[in-house]
Chain A
Amino acid sequence: MTSDEIIDLVEMVVLVAVLVAVGKLFQRSKASGRLGEWWNSKSRVEQWAWLVPLIAVVVLIPVINPPFLTTEPGTNFPITMFNCALYALVALGLNVVVGQAGLLDLGYVGFFAVGAYVAALFTSPDSQLSKIPYLWTLPLAMVVTMFFGVVLGTPTLRLRGDYLAIVTLGFGEIVRLLATLMPPLKGNVGFQDVGHPPGTKADGGALFANTNGTPWYMLTIGIILIVLLLVGNLERSRVGRAWVAIREDEDAAEMMGVPVFKFKLWAFAIGAAIGGLSGSLFAGQVSFVNNQKFDVPTSVLFLAAVVLGGSGNKVGVLLGGFVIAYIPFRFTALASYKYLIFGVALVVLMIFRPQGLLGARQRLLARGRQAYQRLIGRPEQLSSDSSLVAEKAGDSA
């Protein structure tokens, strides 16, 4: 190892150790409970009043370019931030599948790829299809990947979860193979000049040029916010409660009358759609799509993002996605070891801290209880467990 690599390794270990330690201390101490109490005792409006300035800061990060976060001169900082946001979006989508419904999807990159190819096929001049404006490919990619999700999920979701894992793993690889084998998908040559949203800068150049990370970042953050709202609403609805029930005990859920298969398929399809959405965003920013970028290791990185952040916790997985994308850019000397690092991280996390940086909250009855307790002026009591932590006794897995 060179000295650069050692310095980067040490810095990275310190960063992750600090994150984990803060997460752990925070959850152990009463501060976590108090913060949770404080937050949950606020009304929806007050919560938003706190959130808006926070979001504003997040949106402006690439413009501020804080010196302790910057990845320059190695990589353009706004581009790095776009990648972080993209991974956060991917993690958010995968979290619906892995974190909420407890289904292991190892081929998420397959959906990501399908989304990217939809964007490329309908906007790149290299494709013979009729063109549509780039922004329309985002919903189209969601529809198409949802379709793929249903096709893949229907035979496998009726079975035990393990089969889903291996079938999705195969799917991720097959998408890449088909991109190579099917001439219309142009294999290694790929599609140049994938479209981008409209808009010009003052100097007449395109606002969403692929060298200009800031607008792409802001667009992605906007989409993340919308997805967060939608997914959050789902989580608090009957659907979300069904997901948690399935995750915790599928047989018990089935017996209580939850249509298990239907809700698993929904989770899988919704997750797939978000994967497709992020794929077409990726295609737009990079502006070039070929078969080289959608390998299974990337899928495992996505999973690592969810697991590191805290499977089942929306804020956690956003953080996880951010960290996973950020580390290779910030610690460039370690970039070639990134897969090794994240592979080891997965094993170590599962052994020592399966709930990740921020554990998921079990909110089976949250909505009703929260509303009731807000009425009587006391906050909701939350446990911070996760689907990945064993019960104290009796769970023979």
Chain B
Amino acid sequence: MHHLITYLADAPWITFNTGAFSDQFWASTFDGLTYGSIYALVAMGYTLVYGVLQLINFAHSEVFIVGVYATVFALNAMGFGPSPVYPPMVVLIIDLLVAMVAAMIASGLTALILERVAYRPLRKRNAPRLVFLITAIGASFTIQYLIFVWRGGSNAEPATIMFVPDPVFEVFSTIIDSQQLTIFIAAIVLMVVTDQFINRTKFGRGIRAVAQDPDTATLMGVNKERVIMLTFVIGGVLAGAAALFYLMKVPQGASFNGGFVLGIKAFAAAVLGGIGNIRGALLGGLLLGVVSNYGVTLLGNSSWTDVVAFVVLVVVLMVRPTGLLGESLGKARV
């Protein structure tokens, strides 16, 4: 055993590149915030469904990847491709908005179908929790391999470049480009809108009521089934938006199992912030994005980001399983 330990420890398989870390500290912070806002958008889907049904919707990562495919096809139809095109600003914005709407519809529909076909029959039967989880993983698997069969293999779609990032301004002598800014601002706006929707509108009150106590909410005249459908659709729509931003950041991101790892990271983000808590998802997403980006800079290989995210998840579960802001959609402040 001792031999094994020295064997694994002596080999230079892990090196901490502190020089690169201090040089690129701000660059990796800003990039981390960009990725983090994507994680946060996806994490919202996990958190909303969990808040209402206490179910980890494993297939949410596939809801997201369907959105990525929709984005790719919408953009390709509008003439975007592997080499950048330079339409006028207004046209570009309209094109991107159209692609985003397409992704939102595709993802929202996927989430809705998933709810109807896979989860609803189980809810009617009062199935045990384990059954829901197994169904969720089965559904996730089914969607992945439907894409696999449809696209004829595991190859990712060719890159789709939306625009070439331009530098916008400088902070701490680090350039912030238009891409980072777009993603970050758009994601924050979407999340604030969702938060307000949940906290201020009648539908939002319904969601919170069902999250608190489904039976009482039903007795008070809330249509539980409709609330559940709405929750899935909102999660799906946000995942669709995230899909556009993800593709902006990772132009070759459309592959059949590309959602899987992002899904685990988004879930880790949701747990970090406190699952079931919308503002927690935002905080957790941004934090996880930054932390796992630091991990990449420090360890010098982008594959480590998944490992770092996973370690963060386990550490949070060990130290503070309710997350930073505590779990509960029902108790969301009004």
B-binding residues in A (CB < 8 A): 98, 102, 104, 106, 121, 128-130, 152, 155-156, 158-159, 161-163, 165-167, 169-171, 173-174, 177-178, 180-184, 296-297, 300, 303-304, 307, 336-337, 339-340, 342-347, 350-351, 354, 387-391, 393, 395-397
Tell me the nearest residue of chain A to B265, going by C-beta: A170
B142-A170 in contact (CB<8A)? no
A161-B131 in contact (CB<8A)? no
Pull 8 A–B residue pairs with CB atoms less than 8 Å apart, ordered by A. A129-B4, A166-B264, A167-B313, A174-B310, A178-B307, A344-B138, A347-B139, A350-B127
* Interface size class of chain B, counting residues whose CB lies under 8 Å from the partner chain: 35 or more
B260-A184 in contact (CB<8A)? no
A177-B129 in contact (CB<8A)? no
A-binding residues in B (CB < 8 A): 3-4, 7-8, 11-14, 54-56, 58, 117-118, 121-122, 125-135, 137-142, 144-146, 148-149, 260-261, 264, 267-268, 271, 301, 303-304, 306-307, 310, 313-314, 317-318, 321
Q: Taking the nearest CB of chain A, how far is it from the CB of B110, in angstroms?
A: 14
Contacts of B321 in A (CB 8 A): 158-159, 163
B127-A390 in contact (CB<8A)? yes
B145-A343 in contact (CB<8A)? yes
Main secondary structure of the interface of B (DSSP, over half): helix
A182-B138 in contact (CB<8A)? no
CB-based A-B contact count at 8 angstroms: 163
A183-B11 in contact (CB<8A)? yes
Q: Taking the nearest CB of chain A, how far is it from the CB of B103, in angstroms?
A: 23
The 6 closest A-B pairs by CB, nearest first: A346-B138, A343-B141, A340-B145, A343-B142, A155-B318, A347-B138
Contacts of A339 in B (CB 8 A): 141, 144-145, 148
**Which of B142, B264, B318 counts the most A-chain CB atoms under 10 A from its CB?**
B142
Contacts of B310 in A (CB 8 A): 170-171, 173-174
A350-B134 in contact (CB<8A)? yes
A387-B137 in contact (CB<8A)? no
Given A159-B317, A181-B13, answer yes or no on A102-B130 (Cβ-Cβ < 8 Å).
yes
Q: Taking the nearest CB of chain A, how far is it from the CB of B56, in angstroms?
A: 5
Partner of A161, one of B118, B130, B138, B314: B130
Main secondary structure of the interface of A (DSSP, over half): helix
B7-A128 in contact (CB<8A)? yes
B317-A167 in contact (CB<8A)? yes
Question: Can you add 20 more A-B contacts, CB < 8 Å, to A173-B306, A354-B131?
Answer: A155-B318, A165-B133, A165-B137, A166-B56, A170-B310, A170-B313, A174-B310, A177-B303, A181-B304, A182-B8, A340-B142, A343-B138, A343-B139, A344-B138, A346-B137, A347-B135, A351-B118, A388-B127, A389-B128, A390-B127
The CA of A339 and the CA of B267, in the complex, are separated in Å by 24
Contacts of A163 in B (CB 8 A): 271, 317, 321
Given A343-B138, A347-B135, answer yes or no on A184-B8 (Cβ-Cβ < 8 Å).
yes
The CA of A272 and the CA of B14, in the complex, are separated in Å by 27
Q: Taking the nearest CB of chain A, how far is it from the CB of B212, in angstroms?
A: 14
Given A162-B56, A297-B141, answer yes or no on A340-B4 (Cβ-Cβ < 8 Å).
no
Q: Taking the nearest CB of chain A, how far is it from the CB of B327, in angstroms?
A: 10
The CA of A396 and the CA of B218, in the complex, are separated in Å by 14
The CA of A92 and the CA of B238, in the complex, are separated in Å by 40
The CA of A171 and the CA of B130, in the complex, are separated in Å by 19
The CA of A182 and the CA of B306, in the complex, are separated in Å by 14
Contacts of A350 in B (CB 8 A): 122, 127, 131, 134-135, 138
The CA of A159 and the CA of B56, in the complex, are separated in Å by 14
Partner of A184, one of B3, B7, B135: B7
The CA of A343 and the CA of B145, in the complex, are separated in Å by 8
Q: Taking the nearest CB of chain A, how far is it from the CB of B15, in angstroms?
A: 11
Q: Taking the nearest CB of chain A, how far is it from the CB of B208, in angstroms?
A: 19
Tell me the nearest residue of chain A to B126, going by C-beta: A390
